[in-house]
């Protein structure tokens, strides 16, 4: 039979309930209420059911509570892997994208993700997937813009003649 995790008595159950009522994080509130129920003497399984979790999950949150206190019960969203381009390299990439390609050097008239993928690999030695290049550009502050399609035989004068305008009042 596994050993029961003792919960530190740094807060009373009433204080934990007060914290649960005042927090803006719903998950933290559920976890605080479950730990308050355990401190009141409720069984671990019933206390876990209050918080919408199983007994093992409550045990894990009790460890976090003992280490970090009530703030340890908040969701810990991590941002995945660290960036492979430094801030200076990102700024340099932004200036390259902003300036646009040189047809003589780069061989293209506009930047595509494939072209930027090759440029990043040559210049910075970092390999990205084509889709990831789009994410990097979005993080830097660029957005995808595509031109509105236009028929090759379109006549601007005809469009202006048929354009609907309301009369002045």
Q: Is residue 149 in a domain?
A: no
Q: Give which of 119, 105, 93, 143 is closest to 127, Cα–Cα.
A: 119
Q: Is residue 98 in a domain?
A: yes
Q: How far is CA 118 from CA 30, 87, 106, 115, 124, in A?
A: 49, 19, 10, 5, 10
pTM of the model: 0.51
Structure confidence at residue 6 (pLDDT): 86
Q: List the chain residues with pLDDT less than 50.
A: none
Structure confidence at residue 156 (pLDDT): 85
What are the tens digits of pLDDT across the range 121-159? Answer: 999 999 999 999 999 999 999 988 877 788 888 888 888
Q: Are residues 59 and 97 in the same domain?
A: no
Domain range for 91 is 87-140
Structure confidence at residue 48 (pLDDT): 95
Q: Are residues 17 and 69 in the same domain?
A: yes
Q: Are residues 27 and 51 in the same domain?
A: yes
Q: Are residues 68 and 101 in the same domain?
A: no
Q: Is residue 118 in a domain?
A: yes
What is the domain count for the chain?
2
Which region, left, alpha or beta, applies to residue 41 given φ > 0 means left and ψ of -120 to 50 means alpha? Answer: left
Q: Is residue 97 in a domain?
A: yes
Q: Are residues 65 and 27 in the same domain?
A: yes
Structure confidence at residue 81 (pLDDT): 81
Structure confidence at residue 164 (pLDDT): 78
């Amino acid at each position: 039979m596994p050993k029961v995790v003792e919960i530190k008595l740094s807060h009373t159950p009433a204080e934990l309930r007060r914290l649960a009522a005042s927090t803006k994080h719903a998950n933290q509130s559920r976890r605080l209420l479950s730990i308050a129920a355990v401190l009141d003497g409720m069984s671990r399984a019933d206390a876990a059911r209050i918080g919408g979790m199983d007994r093992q999950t409550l045990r894990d949150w009790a460890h976090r509570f003992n280490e970090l206190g009530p703030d340890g019960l908040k969701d810990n969203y991590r941002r995945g892997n660290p960036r492979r381009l430094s801030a200076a390299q990102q700024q340099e990439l932004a200036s390259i994208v902003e300036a646009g390609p040189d047809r003589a050097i780069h061989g293209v008239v506009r930047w595509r993700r494939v072209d930027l993928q090759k440029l990043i690999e040559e210049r910075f030695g970092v390999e990205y997937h084509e889709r990831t290049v789009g994410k990097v550009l979005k993080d830097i502050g660029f957005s995808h813009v595509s031109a509105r399609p236009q028929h090759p035989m379109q006549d601007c004068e005809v469009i202006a003649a048929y354009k609907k305008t309301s009369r002045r009042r």
